[in-house]
Chain A
Amino acid sequence: MGARSLQAQQTAVEIAGQNLANVNNPAYARQRVQMQTSPTISSTLGEQGTGVQVTAIQQMRDALLDSQITGETSVGGYWNSQQSGLQSAQIGLGEYIDSTSGSATSTDGTTSGIADDLSGLFSAFKSVATSPESLTDRQLLMSNAQTLATRLNQASTNLSNVKDQLNQSLDGNVKDANQLISDIANLNKSISAAEAPGGSQPNDLIDLRQSKLESLANLVNITSSTGDNGAVNISIDGNQIVSDSTVADTLQTYDAGGGQMLVRTATGGTPLNLTGGEMKGTIDARDGTLATLQTGLDTLASQLITQVNAIHDVGYGMSGTSGAKFFNGSDASDISVNSALVSDPSLVQAAGAPGASGDNSVALALSQLANAPQAGLGNQTFSQAYSQTVAGLGYSLNNANTQVNDSTKVQSMLSQQRDSVSGVSIDEEMTSLIGFQKAYEASAKLVTAVDQMLETVISMKT
């Protein structure tokens, strides 16, 4: 009995030690020794106890909390990747508020973005309208026009790069997800083998599998169910991904047309309709807000090109030339200023009729373009349409920020709850440790006492 007790207490101390060692392991669920009295012996006095035995090492885990956390991790992953994608888009657009920029007395003062450059172009048109024969004003016009075109090109390139980055990150997510899927399948195998009748619950493997499930849920929203043999089956959008210990299917990215990468199953080739996780967040950011932003810029640029050229085409330069285009290109990525006009600003067609350099009627019409609602821009002026595009990005990102905060709070609350069930408390373990240590000493004392009694009995003979 004493020996059995010593063993039991020793096991308990080891478990306490195990808990203490893993106090900072976030995936760890604390373990508890389950002690039970060992089978009794029938004696003439009745049932006599034979001491204690350790029946199981139990893991303190709440399956409901685990599945809640897995679900919420998907939501968190979705909003986090949206937020980071849109942050990149905001940086790529480069439009920030500088409240002192508008009141600068010079028209080419500190510029902070496309809005400023757009105003700069129209201001330059106004100044050429006021002094049509002034080469200085014409040169300034060309310079402002080039600045605008370059900045539009730059923004377009940046946004295109962000789109590529998001595609790459989707690729990376899919690779990680596939790795996790195969890991989970392997763990399923080990766990089912260990939980086979006659075996015991492999607590550490279960901890590991749960943490991998959560990592996978962060990437893509999964539906999981636990089988009778302890294996977790995973499906995504109704497609079986992990079935027992086999990987039923993996994920891959594919081009849905127009460079738009989406996710589908590898063997079946079924496009997946994702509902959460980082992958979905990346896809939504790319095809939603980022695409709208890019379209907004392109529409602005193409309308600007069309409208300015339409007015400029019929004008006359200072030497009577006509028909030259002001802007070349078709959208934000390739808008540029006619290089012939840049090298010789006197060719800018500001006049309505040839031969009179003081004629400013075309320049005047160009300057009035600033206030004209454009049918192609939803009956807004160029500046209004642009600021609305910027605000659109702002609303989406603002929303993503709020959602990330909310999701973080929810995740935090859930993990606090899990921690209160599964977390290791140093004070608690130390107290248990002392308790088991004392019990060990007591049992040792019992062994010593029995031993002494035996010696007394034996020495009776001699």
Chain B
Amino acid sequence: MRVTGNYFADQFVSTVNGLSARQQKLQNEISTGQRISAPEDDPAAVQRTLNLQADQQAVTQYASNISTLQDRATTSFNAIKSVKTVSDRAGEIATMSDGTRSPDELQAYATEVTQLIKQTVQTMNTKDGDSYIFGGTQTSQPPYVIATDANGNVTSVTYQGNTGVADKPIADGTTVAVDVPGSNTTGTGQQGVITDSRTGADFFNHLISLQNHLLAGDTASIASTDTPALGKDENNIISQISNNGAIQTQLETAQTANTQQATSLTQQVSTQADADITDTIVQLNQAQYAYQAALQSGAGIMQKSLLDYLP
């Protein structure tokens, strides 16, 4: 085929352009660490990567949810534990208040029980951040309201929360209810901490009853009604503690699974989108050599023509 100078020049330009473009692409891959960037690079991989990244975002959010709920469960646990402490002490007082005690001692116990009631109300009105945790879904107002008489004795403790329980999302298709209501007299749903119709617990009322019996010096009633009543309360509280433990375990398991999923997704995204740096660097070197060789040889050939040799 007859080859002219122009043909050679055009070939040279297009080859050099091609090599230059290849170098630029490889350089870009190395500096971003990514094999694909725009949808045109590899549409199937881009689609998969976008889907994986949507999953990654969801997993990250779930991790944050789990962490929030773990804090809440811990707050709940601490509150229930201090209620248990009160329950233990109340039981002790009830047992010790028999006929052998002097009226003064009984009065002292009554005062102590009053204090215990107030302390427990305060505990049960614990907040986690912006919300009261023992009011059911009624989280914007304190669950318990205390009423006292002129002498400072507690006359009643009223529950103004509800029995609703909010399911919080911790994974796709999985929710967990961390909160427990203070009182549940409906007979269904989450067991109440203080009052529950199924277990017969009614801690505040039992404590008020104990307080009143102590004030009246009625040790017989204490033995016959208060002590067994407080026993039911204690069992209820113990089961609350183990329930909380179960919830915390569930959250920990979810957290582990979540971390594993996050790692797996990161690996999958990396497989789709990341450049194999070693391989890319080798290819870049090859492209650079080819570019250099093309420039050198082309420059040499292009310069020569017959005119150089004519006198």
Bits for B248-286, please: 1 = Cβ < 8 Å to A, else 0. 000000000000001001100110011000000000000
Q: Are B53 and A116 in contact (CB under 8 A)?
A: yes
In this complex, the member of B34, B169, B173 whose beta carbon has the largest number of chain A beta carbons within 10 angstroms is: B169
Known: A360-B168, A364-B167. A97 touches B310 (CB 8 A): no
Q: Is B65's beta carbon under 8 Å from chain A?
A: yes
Q: Which of B90-98, B127-135, B190-198, B204-212 contacts A (4 or more CB under 8 A)?
A: B127-135
- Asked if A398 lies at the interface with its beta carbon under 8 angstroms from chain B, I say yes
Complexed CA–CA distance, A112 and B52 (Å): 15
A130 touches B40 (CB 8 A): no
Instruction: Assess whether B49 is in contact with A97, with CB atoms less than 8 Å apart.
Output: yes
B221 at the interface (CB under 8 A from A): no
Question: Could you say which residues of chain B place their CB within 8 Å of the CB of A119?
Answer: 53-54, 57-58
Min CB distance B295 to A, Å, is 20
Q: Is B47's CB under 8 angstroms from A387's CB?
A: yes
Asked if residues A99 and B50 are in contact (CB atoms below 8 Å), the reply is: no
Tell me the smallest distance from the CB of A371 to a CB of chain B, in Å: 6
Q: Is B31 in contact with chain A by the CB < 8 A criterion?
A: no
**Known A131-B129, A421-B2: A126·B62 in contact at CB below 8 Å:** yes
Inter-chain contacts of A386 with B (CB < 8 A): 50
* A420 in contact with B52 given A97-B46, A116-B57, A398-B40 (CB within 8 Å): no
Given A420-B4, A430-B306, answer yes or no on A102-B167 (Cβ-Cβ < 8 Å).
no
Query: Which residues from chain A contact B44 at a C-beta distance below 8 Å?
Result: 391
- Report B-chain residues with C-beta under 8 Å of the C-beta of A371: 172-173
Known A-B contacts A132-B166, A430-B310; A24 and B130 likewise in contact (beta carbons under 8 Å): no
| B111 at interface by CB-CB < 8 Å | no
Q: Which residue, of B41, B129, B130, has the highest number of chain A Cβ atoms within 10 A?
A: B130
Report the interface size for chain A: residues with CB under 8 A from the other chain: 79
Given known contacts A131-B129, A318-B140, A104 and B60 CB-to-CB distance under 8 angstroms = yes
Within 8 Å by CB of B49, from A99, A355, A397, lies A99
Neighbouring A residues of B43 by C-beta, 8 Å: 390-395, 398
Known A357-B139, A359-B164, A427-B305; judge A103-B40 contact (CB<8 A): no
- Is B54 in contact with A115, judged by CB distance below 8 angstroms? yes
Q: In this complex, what residue of B is CB-closest to A387?
A: B50
Is A419 a contact partner of B6 (Cβ separation < 8 A)?
Answer: yes
Q: Taking the complex as formed, is B202 at the interface, i.e. its CB lies under 8 A from any CB of chain A?
A: no
Report the interface size for chain B: residues with CB under 8 A from the other chain: 70
Residue from A26, A361, A384, A426 within 8 A of B305 (CB atoms): A426
Type the 1/0 row for A343-374, where 1 means its CB is closer than 8 Å to any CB of B: 00000000101011111110010011011000
Q: Contacts of A101 on B, CB cut-off 8 Å?
A: 53
Given the known interface contacts A90-B38, A102-B52, A356-B136, the answer about A416 and B33 at a Cβ–Cβ threshold of 8 Å is no
Min Cβ gap B165→A in Å is 9
Residue among B7, B46, B310 with most chain A CB within 10 A: B46
Q: Which of A1-38 contact B (CB under 8 A)?
A: 23-24, 26
Please name all residues of chain A whose beta carbon is closer than 8 Å to the beta carbon of B274 when the two chains form the complex. 99
What are the residues of chain B within 8 A of A86 when measuring CB–CB?
40
* Residue among B11, B58, B175 with max Cβ neighbours from chain A (10 Å): B58
Neighbouring A residues of B5 by C-beta, 8 Å? 23, 424-427
- Report the separation of the CA atoms of residues A351 and B137 in the bound assembly, to the nearest whole angstrom: 9
- Cα A415 to Cα B169 with chains together (Å): 66
Contact A115 B61 (CB under 8 A): no
Instruction: Kindly state the separation between the CA atoms of A118 and B56 in the bound complex, as whole angstroms.
Output: 13
CB of A397 within 8 A of CB of B39, answer yes
Is A120 part of the binding interface, using a Cβ–Cβ cutoff of 8 Å?
yes
Tell me how many residue pairs across A and B have CB atoms closer than 8 Å.
226
Contact B3 A420 (CB under 8 A): yes
Contact of A306 with B by CB under 8 A: no
B270 touches A420 (CB 8 A): no
Q: Are B162 and A356 in contact (CB under 8 A)?
A: yes
Q: Is B292 an interface residue (CB 8 A)?
A: no
Distance in angstroms between the alpha carbons of A254 and B37 in the assembled complex: 38
- Select one of B42, B164, B306 contacting A358, CB under 8 A: B164
List which A398-429 residues lie within 8 A (CB) of chain B.
398, 401, 412, 415-417, 419-421, 423-428
Shortest distance between the CB of B296 and any CB in chain A (Å): 22
Distance in angstroms between the alpha carbons of A104 and B44 in the assembled complex: 24
Chain A residues closer than 8 Å to B307, beta-carbon distance: 426, 430
B6 near A359 with CB under 8 A, answer no
Contact B2 A420 (CB under 8 A): yes
Among B46, B57, B164, B167, the most chain A Cβ lie within 10 Å of the Cβ of B57
Residue of B7, B39, B52 near A416 (CB, 8 A) is B7
Let me know if B14 is at the binding interface, CB within 8 A.
yes
B53-A90 in contact (CB<8A): no
User: What chain A residues lie within 8 Å of B172 (beta carbons)?
Assistant: 371
Q: How far is the CA of A95 from the CA of B70 in the complex (A)?
A: 36
Which residues on the B side are within 8 Å of A126 (C-beta)? Answer: 58, 61-62, 65, 169
Query: What 1/0 flags go to B2-24 for Cβ under 8 Å of A?
Result: 11111100110010000000000
Q: Which of A227-264 contact B (CB under 8 A)?
A: none
B56-86 vs A, Cβ < 8 Å mask (1 yes, 0 no): 1110111011001100000000000000000
B53:A129 contact, CB within 8 angstroms: no
Complex CA gap A388/B47 in Å reads 6
The complex places the Cα of A262 from the Cα of B7 at a distance, in Å, of 39
**Bound Cα distance from A360 to B50, whole angstroms:** 29
Nearest A residue to B6 via CB reads A423
Q: Which residues of A contact B139 (CB under 8 A)?
A: 133, 356-358
Taking CB as reference atom, which chain B residue is nearest A101?
Answer: B53
Q: CA A128 – CA B40 in complex, angstroms?
A: 37
Residues on A with C-beta less than 8 A from B38 are: 90, 96-97, 394
Once bound together, how far apart are the Cα atoms of A126 and B43, in whole Å? 30
**Docked CA distance A101–B60 (Å):** 11
B254: shortest Cβ distance to chain A, in Å?
13
Across chains A and B, which 9 residue pairs bring their CB atoms closest together, nearest first? A394-B43, A394-B39, A102-B56, A358-B139, A119-B57, A391-B47, A387-B50, A102-B53, A423-B4
26 sample A-B contacts, Cβ–Cβ < 8 Å, listed by A number: A23-B5, A90-B38, A95-B39, A97-B34, A97-B37, A102-B269, A119-B54, A126-B62, A127-B61, A130-B65, A130-B169, A133-B130, A318-B140, A351-B137, A358-B136, A358-B140, A361-B166, A371-B172, A387-B50, A387-B51, A388-B47, A394-B41, A398-B41, A419-B10, A424-B4, A424-B6
- The interface of chain B, by Cβ under 8 A from chain A, is 1-7, 10-11, 14, 33-34, 36-44, 46-47, 49-58, 60-62, 64-65, 68-69, 129-131, 135-140, 162, 164, 166-169, 172-173, 175, 179, 262, 265-266, 269-270, 273-274, 305-307, 310
Apart from A358-B131, A390-B39, A423-B2, what are 4 other A-B pairs with CB-CB below 8 Å?
A99-B34, A358-B136, A383-B51, A416-B7
